Structure 1
Amino acid sequence: MAMPHNFVATLVANPLNPSVTDEVIAAAAKAIGHETERSVLARGIAADLIFSGDAKVADHAIRAMLKGSEIDVIVQPLAHRRKRLFLADMDSTMIGQECIDELADFVGLKAEVSEITERAMRGEIAFEPALRERVSLLKNLPVGVVDEIIRERITLTPGGRALVQTIRANGGYTCLVSGGFTLFTGPIASKIGFHEHRSNLLLIEAERLTGEVAEPILGKEAKLATLKELRDRLGLQKHDTLAAGDGANDLAMLEEAGLGVAFHAKPAVAAAAHARVEHADLSALLYAQGYREEEVLGVD
């Protein structure tokens, strides 16, 4: 009797570079070395290869075949791929910027603050003290600059609204969880369509930043705790959860999720996560769940 097909490899390209051709799909199927069931999810953009066998071997074989191409591959168990809880980092994940770096630009310290941010996101220095150090440099900055930054400097990552809207339309719960600040996560979560947001509170006096952040700081452990809390509150299993992020403070959350996706992430994060997306936009997280192009809502 034939073994059931129990894994799926999803090939995904950036919609701006639709390179998942029939030839690529056939070559990937051949690389797996097992009988596969093929399904095109979005012409040129995403396709599934369903197979049985060793998932890690298949993953390595497909990556070797795709080397040099701008196509991502996500290999996972076929069962439970459709998720019911989605947690996402904000900075450099759901948006293209690091908000604290943009704030620092208003006091002429973007270069210094960006360097600390980069080191913290790579995991070279601890997140919490690095955040306190950066926030202290923002003392006396008028809080009104936040609206200007959101309006003029912040860009939503392509595919993000479609991702959140589609998950919500299919009964899923969504939470933006950030080591950044409520001044940003509130408006941005609303703009994208998240159910809720959690982040750090900048202290303010007389409409200016005091240079301090409320304790305890929401970092790596708090992101993990949020995933567990929401999962328990909603009565879900680990396999029902999806998380995405790019920095070292996202790793615990990514590892605890049923599918943890390193999105355009720092090398150490990409190496440790279940899956990584390096070329595609955030719609890749829908195709990884088996959604088809016609099911995707609110295309960005």
Structure 2
Amino acid sequence: MACVATLISNPAAPSLDADAVERAQRALPSAQTPVWLDPGIAADIPFTGAAENTQTDAKRALTEYVRTALGGAPIDVLLQDAGGRRKRLFLADMDSTMIGQECIDELADYIGVKREVAAITERAMRGEIEFAPALRERVALLKGLPASLADKVIAERIRLTPGAHTLVATMRKNGVYTCLVTGGFTLFTQRVAAMIGFHENRANTLVVDAGGRLTGEVTEPIFGREAKLATLIELRRRLGIAPEATLVAGDGANDIAMIEAAGLGVAYHAKPNVAKAAAARVDHGDLTALLYAQGYRRDEFVAEGAPQAGA
């Protein structure tokens, strides 16, 4: 079966050289001539995999074998079937995936409870505690905060993950439907989705009183793990897109279900439990790694700041 291994390094610190590619070639069965997607940053190595190597567990084992051959170099390795790499539907988590922060933690910092809230967030994202009760507990600590503070958090604290604009703009140019899904809040997602260029966003809604302050409650039902998976299935069916033509990226425990259900589910700089569950992971590259994984060359990227086009 025709397969491909994509090697990716961080564009901010290119580390993929001919020697690394050669070592990866030697670790792959029936490896063919590499194709550079971006010299120094990303390359495809076509190879012929036995039928059993197309199964998830075998793919993981072969991926780890290639990583070992690379000697711990900061290079991501993604193995896939060669066909159908370019996806038609993209869902991504927001906090610590499309942006570098956890919005609720930053909001909590303004009233001096960031340490308490961040500790709960970390445990929930690692899957150590259930997401819904953890969210309610954190939201209760925000009672009395003005909802308008979200604008200040976005302006002063929130930074897009490198490659976010380029990833979404390039996929949209190629007809991909994009959706930002998060266990966070619409106070943030509506703005962040617009900043990056997503078609739509799904998130939780904080209850705000008549005076414009948070009540310490969140509208039920909680948008979490199952809701993210349901959104993937809903959009897939609505748009007539096959499961294998979907791409999902996330970092926390409530992303696992949708990652496992995607054609290409990527654990992006993820918690250990998520990286273990995902068939593919990006530990070193930025978000453009998701374009290289689909076989896009650097000269096919939509440059950051270019007019939005496509679907």
Q: Same fold per TM (> 0.5)?
A: yes
Does 2:248 correspond to 1:267? Answer: no
- State the partner residue of 2:298: 293
Aligned residue runs from structure 1 range 192-211, under 5 A: 192-205=196-209, 206-211=211-216
Q: 2:45 aligns with which of 45, 49, 54?
A: 49
- The code of the aligned residue for 1:49 comes to I
* Alpha-carbon separation, structure 1, partners of 2:115 and 2:31: 52
Alignment gaps of 5+ in structure 2: 54-58, 306-311
SS in structure 2 at match of 1:10: strand
Aligned residue runs from structure 1 range 203-222, under 5 A: 203-205=207-209, 206-222=211-227
- State the partner residue of 1:190: 194
Alignment gaps of 5+ in structure 1: none
Aligned residue runs from structure 1 range 229-268, under 5 A: 229-268=234-273
Whether the aligned pair in 1 keeps the contact of 2:126 and 2:253 (CA below 8 Å) is yes
- State the partner residue of 1:38: 34
RMSD: 1.1
Which has the larger displacement, 49-58 or 230-239?
Answer: 49-58
- State the partner residue of 1:74: 78
- State the partner residue of 2:98: 94
- The code of the aligned residue for 2:292 comes to Y
State the TM-score, normalizing by the size of structure 1: 0.97
SS in structure 1 at match of 2:36: strand
SS in structure 1 at match of 2:30: coil
Which has the larger displacement, 45-54 or 55-64?
Answer: 55-64
Q: 1:148 aligns with which of 149, 152, 159?
A: 152
- The code of the aligned residue for 1:207 comes to G
- State the partner residue of 1:10: 6
- State the partner residue of 1:22: 18
Identity of aligned residues (%): 60
Runs of 4 or more consecutive aligned structure 1 residues displaced over 4 Å after TM superposition: none
TM superposition shift of 1:106: 1.1
SS in structure 1 at match of 2:120: helix
Deviations 1:172-205 (A, max 9, x none): 0000000000000000000000000000000101
Q: 2:112 aligns with which of 84, 108, 118?
A: 108
Deviations 1:126-154 (A, max 9, x none): 00000000000000001121101000100
* Alpha-carbon separation, structure 2, partners of 1:297 and 1:134: 38
Deviations 1:69-122 (A, max 9, x none): 100000011111100000000000000000000111111100000000000000
State the TM-score, normalizing by the size of structure 2: 0.93
TM superposition shift of 1:58: 3.6
Whether the aligned pair in 1 keeps the contact of 2:25 and 2:32 (CA below 8 Å) is yes
- The code of the aligned residue for 1:35 comes to A
Q: Give the number of aligned pairs.
A: 296
* Alpha-carbon separation, structure 2, partners of 1:10 and 1:274: 14
- The code of the aligned residue for 1:211 comes to G
Whether the aligned pair in 1 keeps the contact of 2:190 and 2:201 (CA below 8 Å) is yes
* Alpha-carbon separation, structure 2, partners of 1:244 and 1:122: 16
* Alpha-carbon separation, structure 2, partners of 1:245 and 1:277: 10
Does 2:81 correspond to 1:85? Answer: no
- State the partner residue of 2:56: none
